[in-house]
Chains A and B, each alone.
Chain A
Amino acid sequence: MEDFSDDQLVKLAKQGNLEAFSELAGRFKQKIYNTILSFTKNHQDTDDLTQETFVNAFKSLKNFKQCSSFYTWFYRIAVNLTLTFLKKRSREKDRDVYSEDYSFHRSGEASNASPERYSLKMELTERLNKAIDSLPLLYKTPFILVVFQGMTHAQAASVLSCSENTVSWRMHKARKMLQTKLKLYLEGG
């Protein structure tokens, strides 16, 4: 199964082959998990949503017409589920949402960096995390897909069911907001 292409696996999975679907799930689970975690910042919710994404994908696989790539279709399910969840969560204002410290952190910190510089970088990273988190979902979603997941504007547009130009404008606005929020730190660092 490992040698099979995504399309071949999709065809097999559509015929009810569980092994093929497991292989597909294995290929995408890490990316899907990371994307959802970028939104929720919470392991438990991410776990639930990732499971739900795969179960939903399995259920609606028969309706997948292969007009778009499986990767895009899969992401669309994950993003839609996550956005619905986040909107629901934001409505439950009174409820105490359990949140873990799953903020992103810099990888491979240079151990040879001076303590002052390291401290500045850490602060900027923390500020960046908060700034990204505070973006409205409309701008945060394409930002996560393009910057964190490395998608092109066309791929992100396909996932979000909008035009490439819309993605481009939202990316521009998201960056403008981030720049305004981090201006002091950027110029100071």
Chain B
Amino acid sequence: MRCEKIKKWISDKLDGELSEERKKLLEAHFHRCELCRLYDENLEKIHEDAQSLKVPHIFPDYWKDFDFRLKTKISSCEQDESRRVPLFLRWKWVLASAALIFVFFISFFYLAQIKAPQEVYILSFEDTFERISNEMSNDPELEELFNSVILASLGEDIDDFSQIISPEFYETPLFWEGVTEEEMDFLEIEIMKNIKSQEDFHEN
């Protein structure tokens, strides 16, 4: 394990990347370890040989030709660059169409919102009464409560009930034609109550 670390230090030493302190430790290790010392010698030989390897000689004519070709390529690159239309311009028709469609949809929704009648939920009186009467037909207690509430509200608005039930009112045949049997019963009870209260009043 220690020798493995030493071998890495040998590699670093050849690249000039080993600190002086470690170089001393390395030398001390070589005195004790023959294998590492041999490894160091081998690597030094490889390093020297590798550094002395040279590439084939390149003739100056090659570089002249190289420079000429490079300049031609770069010039054509520059021309291409100047000819190149910016991306947003290449897509101008698409962008313009998209903007037009967007504007169209926005205006369509805006106009539709203005013209559309305000949706207000109005519960019609007829429907309400029908629902209440249906409920009341199955529940006599509710019917009684409803009648008392209606009467109480009428009593609040009109101080004198006799103003509504006028003699002319009783005498109108059209009124009696439209009255149902149930309504007749109700009126009868109310009239009786009224007569009784008047009699009580006179007696007192």
Q: What residues of chain A have their CB less than 8 Å away from a CB belonging to chain B?
A: 16, 18, 21-22, 25-26, 29-30, 33-34, 37-38, 47, 50-51, 54-55, 58-59, 102, 104-107, 124-125, 128-129, 132, 146-148, 152-153, 168-169, 171-172, 175-176, 178-179, 182-183, 186-187, 189
Task: Please name all residues of chain B whose beta carbon is closer than 8 Å to the beta carbon of A58 when the two chains form the complex.
Answer: 74, 77
Beta-carbon contacts under 8 Å, B10-62 to A: 10-12, 14-17, 39, 42-43, 45-47, 49-56, 58
Q: How many residues of B contact A (CB 8 A)?
A: 35
State whether A147 touches B50 (Cβ < 8 A): yes
Report yes or no: B74 in contact with A18, Cβ–Cβ below 8 A: yes
> How would you classify the secondary structure of chain A's contact residues: helix, strand, loop or mixed?
helix
Where the two chains meet, the residues of B that have a C-beta atom closer than 8 Å to any C-beta of A are: 7-8, 10-12, 14-17, 39, 42-43, 45-47, 49-56, 58, 63, 66-67, 69-71, 73-75, 77-78
Closest to B71 in A: A22
Residues of B near A30 (CB, < 8 A) are 58
| New contact pairs (11) apart from A55-B73, A168-B17, CB-CB < 8 Å | A18-B75, A22-B71, A29-B66, A34-B55, A38-B55, A54-B74, A58-B74, A107-B52, A129-B53, A176-B7, A179-B46
In the complex the two chains form, is A51's CB within 8 Å of B46's CB? no
CA distance A182 to B43 in the complex (A): 10
Partner of A175, one of B17, B43, B67: B43
Q: Lowest 3 CB-CB distances: which A-B pairs, in order? A: A104-B53, A107-B54, A172-B11
Q: Please give me the residue from chain A that is nearest to B38 by CB atom.
A: A187
Complex Cα spacing A183 to B42, Å: 8
CA A139 – CA B152 in complex, angstroms? 102
Residue of A whose beta carbon sits closest to that of B11: A172
Q: Report the minimal beta-carbon distance from B203 to chain A, rounded to whole angstroms.
A: 114
- Find the residue from A38, A128, A152, A183 having the highest chain B CB count within 10 A: A128
Q: Which chain B residues lie closer than 8 Å to A107 at the CB level? A: 52-54
- CB atoms of B54 and A105 under 8 A apart: yes
Closest CB in chain A relative to B162 CB, distance in Å: 100
Asked if residues B53 and A124 are in contact (CB atoms below 8 Å), the reply is no
Complex contacts, A132 vs chain B, CB 8 Å: 50
